[in-house]
Amino acid sequence: MKIGQPCNLEIKDTYSGEMEKYYCKVIDKNKDFIFIDYPIHSKTKRSKKFPVGSVINVSYVGSDNSVYTFTSEITKQVESDIPALAFDKPQKKDISRIQRRRYVRVETAVDVAVQLKSSETPAFTTVTNDISGGGASIVLPKGTTLKGDEFIELHLVLPMVSGEYYYIDTEAKIIRINHNEGSIDTASLSFDNIQQQDQQYIIRYCFEKQREARKKERQ
């Protein structure tokens, strides 16, 4: 786990006995401990300071886009400029790889601003048609002309379940333009030189949208 790594926590509620889900970020680490900011509850959006001794299940996305999980325990509360919690750094043998994540693609409308790098076409705003950790398809406003193999700058806004908004700035390459008779035109893009943390935010967003869709199907 690297500094800045987003991760998910699960902890058993003292009163209901149910597992509650939280989001947090790694803000520091040393050879013995990993330090996180105060976790935010996935539903109430409130931060919480877990007491020392709390057992937590930690999960995060690794550099290979797989999900890793381990169990640890809150060992200290740190009062400083940035209040933090610390838990024991896991041994490699205690970390489980639970699945291979290869860019789940979801159909969703994410707000995006597009700026072209080598064209006279002015910048424009639109929404995605779908998105994954490897690229996206964006809706082309009427009159917008783009070309395959062209490079553009994307500015994406991801609304997470936690209530946070992640702002992603990345370069993208236009793979192809999809002309759909009687419907909207789209452009298929691949993310080029995207920061690993930004890619992880997109992957996490896609899985959250996938979970939402599954819940609706069961209702």
Burial class (CB in 10 A: 0-12, 13-18, 19+), 53: exposed
Contact 208, 161 (CB under 8 A): yes
Proportion of the chain above pLDDT 90, given as a percent: 23
Architecture of domain 6-99: Roll (2.30)
Q: Bigger pLDDT: 193 or 114?
A: 114
How much is the average pLDDT of 148-175? Answer: 90
Q: Bigger pLDDT: 46 or 107?
A: 107
How much is the average pLDDT of 25-52? Answer: 86
How much is the average pLDDT of 203-213? Answer: 85
* Nearest CA among 1, 46, 5 for reference residue 22: 46
* Mean pLDDT of the residues in the chain: 85
CB neighbour list of residue 142: distance below 8 Å, 6 or more residues apart: none
Q: 75-104: per-residue pLDDT in tens?
A: 988 887 788 899 988 888 889 876 544 567
Element (DSSP H or E) covering residue 213: helix 196-218
Element (DSSP H or E) covering residue 196: helix 196-218
Tell me whether the CATH fold assigned to 6-99 matches the one assigned to 111-218: no
> Domain segments of the chain: what residues?
6-99, 111-218
Q: CA 65 to CA 70: how far, in whole Å?
A: 16
Is residue 184 scored above 90 in pLDDT?
A: no
Query: Residues 64, 65, 67, 68: is their CA dihedral positive or negative?
Result: positive
Q: Bigger pLDDT: 177 or 145?
A: 177
The residue count of the chain comes to: 219
Count of beta carbons in the 10 Å neighbourhood of residue 165: 10
pLDDT of the residue at 119: 60
The half-sphere exposure of 39 on its side-chain side, counting CA atoms within 13 A, is 25
Instruction: Pick the range with the lowest mean pLDDT from 7-16, 95-104, 160-169, 174-183.
Output: 95-104
pLDDT of the residue at 161: 85
User: Is 111-218 a domain of CATH 3.40.30.10?
Assistant: no
Taking the model in full, what pTM does it have? 0.55
Tokens at 35, concatenated: 């330090």
Q: CA 162 to CA 23: how far, in whole Å?
A: 7
**DSSP 3-state assignment of 109?**
coil
Is residue 36 scored above 80 in pLDDT?
A: yes
